[in-house]
Structure 1
């Protein structure tokens, strides 16, 4: 089982017809978009660097040991849980009219804050056992991020502080007094929306469209006054909004993603039993699952390399620079099969008639 199959096994809503899931080893951050039918999710894939004995994923470098393997798989799970929750409850069409005539970068960030906050609330209410991976990813991002003192653009500084305050409950450095007012105001508005969302989740209803747009508009107006936007930040394990240099490449240490920052993020997400969650992160069952996924992926890559090596000499005689296995797109296959269902049935029927004629028992022709 590679990461593609593993991602599907983790999804909250397993509708392979409406949701297109792709894996792209070249990406350094997940992508969330839409097509005419549903969501399109493109996930990065970890890469193994044997010479350096490291595993790289989302701009992190993990040591190629038991702890590093566990951390890489837990971070992958956090990606899947976050994006899967978007599939379950998010709808970008809610903001389509509102974002017209607005700075699209500020608008997208405002929408992202609202939807990501709802995603965290959804996971906390429906899948609280998944919060440990989210908190782990949040604490890694906090450790990796630049200090607010080193972010010179006011708008980007406030955006980054908001991200950390809402996901970790901490900020990495101080901001100006007026910027704190903005952060507290946005946090308060999102807190009120969270209360509304909690009530709707408890009653099995997810529709709070008007309230979401109103809060997004408040965030937009609060950020617009800080001048031009140079970068739109997003946590590395969440969907990419634009180019962002606020999370430089980082070599993960064994103790990263744990301790006080992990506990604070869990509390911010709504989980009080941080000590129990930290213990569960180190359970043997969790470790065994991570090692199984990692080893299956390594074996899969080894088989692919062995197959491609057989064709290496043949490729040299062609104009192809290289060959590779195409990316899996099972959703497109399901959609194509549905669109050609009647034609396929008629073709199969015709083939069966022809096959019966060829396979006719000759004794029947002579009685």
Structure 2
């Protein structure tokens, strides 16, 4: 599952996080102002996940995007291992735990993208293991030190980790993004509950279940092997790599929301108008950009300052630019079209 999930990088945040990590390594300091866009250039920017950014940037320098995808796949595998270890500590059967993890993986796979939240998921599970050891230990100093070190190492200052701690402590639901944390914590408990003698006897006595498991594993391995050469590629259904390569150097780009991150990574000298750093741009800027992308309002005013436009073909803006004498269609892909001002 981790390798299958790593085949296509579909999360826009991953790309600008790699670029930010590269900038942090090059400058030997954490950016405090936006260096990447032309619409918010120089504005104050609080970077929460700088540790993750630096880590993925170092991996990127060594192995490119395939390396980033592989590293995050290893982290996902580690999360799965922590779930199984925690289930085992609750007395769950390895057979039941493994089956339950596989059956519930479709519910988790959408959340297991190459983002800092992977660290949070692993941290919550490790936190529970430490707390269980702390409760049962006669001399708790060691686990306390480990707990403090864990908190210092993974604390990123955002709501996810704080909410995850709250979930681990009192089982509350703070936000939609905490749902994978709840599921990961629930799996060991459910596995322990399901590890009853009757269930285990039934599972071990049915060769069909064993054969189905072996067949499913073989199919997963074969499918992963077939797609392994494309490991870490930007999802071709979402990202127009040829159009991004065709953007003139230094051209101020007006772009679709999802495309800004990959442009920052692949064309670092091209300032973007928007990317998925919502905390930087603010809701008003995003809404104004969406109106222009939909082709509404005065085109010249909406694109003032931009020399290039990278937009989804179905957008109203793309249709208006195709009909405009002031803009030239330079590259057309299913994912996006690139226009350059004449």
* TM superposition score category, shorter chain reference: under 0.3
TM-score (norm 2): 0.27
Q: Which has the higher helix share?
A: 2
TM-score (norm 1): 0.25
